[in-house]
Amino acid sequence: MNQKRDPVGVFDSGAGGISTLREMIRELPEERFIYFGDTANAPYGTKTTEEVIACVQGVVERLMKKNIKALVIACNTATGAAAATLRKELSIPVVGMEPALKPASQMRKNGSVLVLATPLTLQQEKFENLMRQYGQGAVKVPCPGLMELVEADDEAGARQYLRELFIRYPADRVDAVVLGCTHYVFLKEMIRELLPERIAITDGNTGTARQLRRVLAGAGLLNEEGPGTVELETSGGPGDIALMKRFLEKPES
């Protein structure tokens, strides 16, 4: 049996991790991916750590039955809550995410770095460790409700939310914005329109895709023959699958 042909399992609380999946497909076009959006339990970012861990365990149990060869947590909140535990419990490689604060800190001059993320992500020890290393000038910006606007595909609502958010942070004092939730990546073009061009916008998707390649190569699990495939699953309904498909096929911003 050729384990290289086994799929990579990817999950998020909803459709946000599709932004990460798209980057992984670009980086690893020969791989087979199974994406699970846990929309029935979304959002993760306003839950307790214990609640998120319980949700994650249910998703992982389901994905493991698909004989996945590696697991990608395409969610910053779930990574902070459960990645360390999963790496101890599972026999397959586990790749997580973190807000792209390091590259943003390298673009900082004298202004601040705004880290947009869910409330729980910003409270987690994993993020605090990141702040200790790269957090000079960084400002935590919790965004409760923004993920839900992305899930609802509510562009008008998201634009109004972001306008009101950025009013609190004068643009002439900001050097970079970190998109610390995979859902927010689908708002990147909108955020770009609302902010001066000189302000950098970073996210963790490219780094996660490259890390997956390194991990698979190191474990001798890279599938270099193809064909690559994508399977979408959800704990929600058909409408959630339709949204995932739209996001997967959405033109790059």
Task: Kindly list the catalytic residues.
Answer: 75, 181
Rounded CA-CA distance 242/15 in Å is 10
Rounded CA-CA distance 225/38 in Å is 30
Tokens of 55: 């949700």
Closest Cα to residue 16, out of 209, 148, 143? Answer: 148
Rounded CA-CA distance 235/110 in Å is 45
Instruction: Evaluate the CA torsion angle 246, 114, 205, 15 in order and state its sign.
Output: negative
Tokens of 39: 């929309």
Closest Cα to residue 72, out of 30, 9, 126, 23? Answer: 9
Rounded CA-CA distance 101/84 in Å is 20
Residue found by looking up tokens 């498909």 in the block: 245
